[in-house]
Amino acid sequence: MRYDLVLLNTVLIPVAGAFILPLVARISLKTRDFAALGLVLASFVFSLLLIPQIMAGRAVIIFSQLPLGFNFVLTADALAVFMACVSSFISAIIILYSFGYISHYENQNEYYTMVVLFLGAMMGLVFAGNLILLYVFWEITAITSWRLIGFFREKKHVICADKAFLVTMFGAVLMLIGFISIFQQTGSFDLAVIKESVKTNPVSNLAIALILVGIFSKSATLPFHTWLPDAGVAPSPVTALLHAAILVKIGVYVFARLFLTTFSLAQFWHTAVPIIAAISAIVSAGAALRETDIKRIIAYSTVSQIGFIFLGLSIGNELAVAGGLLYILMHGLAKAGLFLCAGIIEQNTKTKDITKLGGLIKTMPVTAMAFLFCAFSVMGIPPFGGFFSKYMVFAGAVETGHLWIVFAFLVGAFLTILYLFRVFNLVFLGEARSLIQAKEKSPIMVTSVAILAVLSLVGGIFINYPCGFVQIILANMAGIIK
């Protein structure tokens, strides 16, 4: 098998196919919908086909030399394939859900084009072996998310979309300056060359700080977090895509790609990043506890849980990093499920205010149980997948002696339980509102959330399988993590 062609198709099919979808829509709208799903599934299947090479310990590389250090380099190693599989699979579930959610809205051609292009840009980013190529795909995700957040075109929605674009663009520009600083030091933008160069000449703290600003802005980490709750004005499948599968995970992926597989961080950053992550986790969890808009609550939850991922990746020892990587998967499944459940609730009740809801478990039982399962995973309740990833992150932090940081995150974990139970209690339990007799109208939407809920549980029961792949990723990080 030509694994280089497999790798190229993983990126090329969704990127090129996205622009064909409006033409397919002229034939049939239903054909366009299934074509969008097919493009994302194709990317997922091609990602899976790369796994045998990864299991055999061989990376797949495509290299084409271009002027000025901007080489076209795609590299499929264990970390990249892991992220590609997670992102493309969850994106496929979200598109399946969209068949029911988006069907009665305008601008459907743009929606499917932008969603598929968004996923294609993520595939390009995770496989990018050159900093400039990574930056190009990073900015494509910014443009597509800008259009998707402003999907409904109302003035408030456009303002929120502009805010998300400007905040993440600001961070991206500083990150690019950091990349240029690395180029000045090493003479290359290629990650493989940089990795060899910095073994004897570490990257400057200024370059690292600039890159971290870009990472934190994309991952909605304090103080750059405010754009993410505001992005809740977008359609629910878009918020699921932004918060769970792709956008906020770009930052944590680039953190792992640069600081865990390319070069190591100075000890200062192993303390500074967890402190920032802890503050972000607690502040956003507190905000979620006071919110009444269900999508904003789940958005603040995302900001908080991203802090846990940064804790795992930045502590620097093997157990914590493994937990952080597993957290990406488990959080993606569960948080996508929560947002898609919120979409079902919003469409059928015409409100996002949890204080105006109640008793929906009687008329929306599958949605209620799916929400509860996904919430259990985010809370870290055994045997759900989120428990094992959260436990590993905490255990790794304890091993390194960061006890006070662990205590801060335990406070965040406790707040997570409080605000998610608060949502479930107000929305699904108690007396039903007389004006709200909502039912689960779309089988395809209900099926989508049920799949994510079951996977949140199955991921914990069969935790050895994702753990096995994470061990391969850790082997590639030898010498950089402790």
State the pLDDT confidence band at 477, using cuts at 50, 70 and 90. confident
Question: Which residues, in sequence order, are bridge partners of residue 62?
Answer: 74
Q: What is the pLDDT of residues 204-261, one digit of tens each?
A: 899 999 999 999 998 888 888 888 888 888 888 998 887 665 777 889 999 999 999 8
> How many angstroms separate the CA atoms of 195 and 186, rounded?
9
Residue 57 phi/psi, 5-degree rounding, is: 85, 20
* Contact (Cβ atoms closer than 8 angstroms) between residue 393 and residue 333: no
Show me where the domains of the chain are located: 1-263, 264-482
pTM for the structure as a whole? 0.94
> How many angstroms separate the CA atoms of 381 and 137, rounded?
36
Q: Which residues contact 337 (CB under 8 A, 6 or more apart)?
A: 370, 371, 373, 374, 449, 452, 453, 456
Residue 433 has pLDDT above 80, yes or no: no
Share of the chain above pLDDT 90, in %: 65
DSSP 349: H
Q: What is the pLDDT of residues 365-389, one digit of tens each?
A: 999 999 999 999 999 999 999 999 9
DSSP 355: G
Question: Which residues, in sequence order, are bridge partners of residue 63?
Answer: 73
Residue 447 has pLDDT above 90, yes or no: yes
Share of the chain above pLDDT 70, in %: 96
* Mean pLDDT value across the chain: 90
Quickly count: other Cβ atoms within 10 Å of residue 465's Cβ.
Answer: 10
State the pLDDT confidence band at 197, using cuts at 50, 70 and 90. confident
